[in-house]
Amino acid sequence: MMAVLDSARKADEGRVRAVTGLRDRWANLPYGWRISVLFAFIIFLYALPGLEIPLISTPDTDFTSVLFLCAVYVLVAVGLNVVIGLAGLLDLGYIGFYAVGAYTVAILGSPNSPVVIQFPWVVCVPIAIAVTMVSGVILGWPTLRLRGDYLAIVTLGFGEIIRVFALNSDITNGNRGITGVPVPSEGTWPEWMDWFPGITAGRPIFSVSNVIGFYWLALTLVFICMLGVRRLERSRVGRSWLAIREDEDAAEVMGVPTFKYKLWAFAIGAALGGLSGALFFSKQTFINAQGFDLFTSILWVAAVVIGGAGNQLGVALGAILLAYLPERFREFADYRLLIFGVALIVMTIFRPQGLLPSRRRKVELEDRAKEGAVGE
């Protein structure tokens, strides 16, 4: 048994070295090369729905829908990463924000909601983001003064409260839910897009039956948000978050307004969660409380940590695996969560730093492992 563990661990170390080597080589590439490769990769992501790649496409489900789900989960992970990976706040009820965003769009935009306003999508979404941000602040204001573990249970409670509210309140139509959630635009594909596989000119861009439009929109939003978070990460804000994560009291004494920045982390995380919820349920066109169980919320946290909290590419990878694997392996539907659970345990034992750790975390964990070994 131990021998197997050891050899597995060795193999994994080899993989890590390969990844690290790749990262260094990437950093040493000329600027122009890096830009071009990045550009090509982005084009590739946009083209994915049109490419029939044999191994990765999903036989049982519409591949573009799976891609869309991946993009939404990545957006969720990017937001959750701000809260957990950067500021170090354990938010187990993130799905509450997702729900608030989704319901705001549904209530304001749908013709079948109890509130008949029927704003267009482009108006609903900014309002949804604002509402989720405010809900993040309302939740954070009293609770961010609490210590980490308490925050976990309080956020979990928040997620549950939102779900129960959605299930029982009149404004959400209770369990019947709301149909006719608005789509981003009623427009149709123009002639000149006709060449792309799967697109027929004159058909609506955003429809349930053909989600290429949704996928492209989601992908674009993912890029924008990742860029935005990256900007924050490499600024005073990001440094303050890290300092708070490391030692909150010391940060405060060094002049970091910790409460303010924790609140910002919460609000930004909430806004991104709200945006992803709004996006996902625009595609579904139907929303009810079923989609918001806490279990999903906890899986998201797992995806972020497994991917490598603190590293945007890592959390994106974690989110993609979480969204993609169950769709790819439908035949194991009954056992997929069981496998997932076991995988989580195995992962934490072999790769506690996540699949793609942030540079810092990697060194830290190596140091800790050494200390642990000495302490034995």
Partner 1 sequence: MNFEFLGDNFMSLTVTGLTQGAIYALVALGYTLVYGVLRLINFAHSEVFMIGTFVTTIVWAGLGFGVGASAPGTFGVLGLIALAVVAAGAASGGTALIVERVAYRPLRKRNAPSLIFLISAIGASVALFELVGAITDRQPRGMPSLVQPKVQFTIFGADVTNLQIGIILSALAMLAGLDIFINRTRLGRGVRAVAQNPDVAALMGVNKDRVIMLIFVLGGMMAGAASVLYDVKVGITTYSVGFLIGIKAFTAAVLGGIGNLRGALLGGLLLGVVENYGAGVFGNEWMDVVAFVMLVVVLLFRPTGLLGESLGRARA
Partner 2 sequence: MSERNNLLEVDNVTIRFGGVTALDGVDFSVKEGEILGLIGPNGAGKTTCFNAVTGVVKPTSGAIRFRGKTLVGQQRHKITRLGIARTFQNIRLFPEMTALENVQVGADARHKTSVVGALFRTWRVPVKPHELVEVDAKSGFGRAVQQVRRTGQRIFGLSRHTLEERAAKEKATELLKLVGIEHRAGELARSLAYGEQRRLEIARALATEPGLLCLDEPAAGFNPAEKESLLELIRKIRDTGVTVLLIEHDMRLVMGVTDRIVVLEFGKKIAEGTPAEVRENPAVIAAYLGVPTDAA
- Residues binding partner 2 (CB under 8 A): 30-33, 35-36, 228, 231-232, 235-240, 242-243, 245-247, 249-258, 264, 268, 360-361, 363-364, 367
Number of residues that bind partner 1 (CB under 8 A): 52
Q: Tell the smallest beta-carbon distance from residue 223 to partner 2 (Å).
A: 15
Tell whether residue 83 is a contact of partner 1 (CB under 8 A).
no
Q: Tell the smallest beta-carbon distance from residue 241 to partner 2 (Å).
A: 10
Tell whether residue 165 is a contact of partner 1 (CB under 8 A).
yes
Tell whether residue 84 is a contact of partner 1 (CB under 8 A).
yes
C-alpha distances in Å from residue 60, one per residue of 31, 82, 333 = 41, 34, 11
For residues 202 and 375, which CB has a smaller minimum distance to partner 1 in the complex?
A: 375
Judged by CB under 8 A, the residue of 75, 225, 302, 317 near partner 1 is: 302
Whether residue 315 contacts residue 81, with contact meaning beta carbons closer than 8 Å, is answered with yes
Crossing angle of helices 294-308 and 336-350, rounded to 10°: 40
Minimal CA–CA distance to 305: which of 349, 271, 355? 355
Whether residue 309 contacts residue 85, with contact meaning beta carbons closer than 8 Å, is answered with yes
- Provide CB contacts within 8 A for 18, sequence distance 6+: none
Q: What's the alpha-carbon Rg for the chain, to the nearest Å?
A: 22
For residues 139 and 268, which CB has a smaller minimum distance to partner 2 in the complex?
A: 268
For residues 78 and 251, which CB has a smaller minimum distance to partner 2 in the complex?
A: 251
Tell whether residue 298 is a contact of partner 1 (CB under 8 A).
yes
For residues 249 and 376, which CB has a smaller minimum distance to partner 1 in the complex?
A: 376
Q: Which does 239 bind (CB under 5 to 8 A by kind): partner 2, partner 1, none?
A: partner 2
Specify the residue for token string 């090509």: 40
Tell whether residue 352 is a contact of partner 1 (CB under 8 A).
yes
Judged by CB under 8 A, the residue of 144, 306, 316, 356 near partner 1 is: 306
Tell whether residue 301 is a contact of partner 1 (CB under 8 A).
yes
Tell whether residue 193 is a contact of partner 1 (CB under 8 A).
no
Q: Tell the smallest beta-carbon distance from residue 232 to partner 2 (Å).
A: 5
For residues 165 and 196, which CB has a smaller minimum distance to partner 1 in the complex?
A: 165
Tell whether residue 372 is a contact of partner 1 (CB under 8 A).
yes
Tell whether residue 343 is a contact of partner 1 (CB under 8 A).
yes
For residues 105 and 242, which CB has a smaller minimum distance to partner 1 in the complex?
A: 242
Q: Which does 33 bind (CB under 5 to 8 A by kind): partner 2, partner 1, none?
A: partner 2
Tell whether residue 250 is a contact of partner 1 (CB under 8 A).
no
Tell whether residue 147 is a contact of partner 1 (CB under 8 A).
yes
Which stretches of the chain bind partner 1, using CB under 8 A? 84, 90, 142-143, 145-147, 149-150, 152-154, 156-158, 160-161, 164-165, 167-168, 294-295, 298-299, 301-302, 305-306, 309, 334-335, 337-338, 340-345, 347-349, 352, 364-365, 368-369, 371-372, 375-376
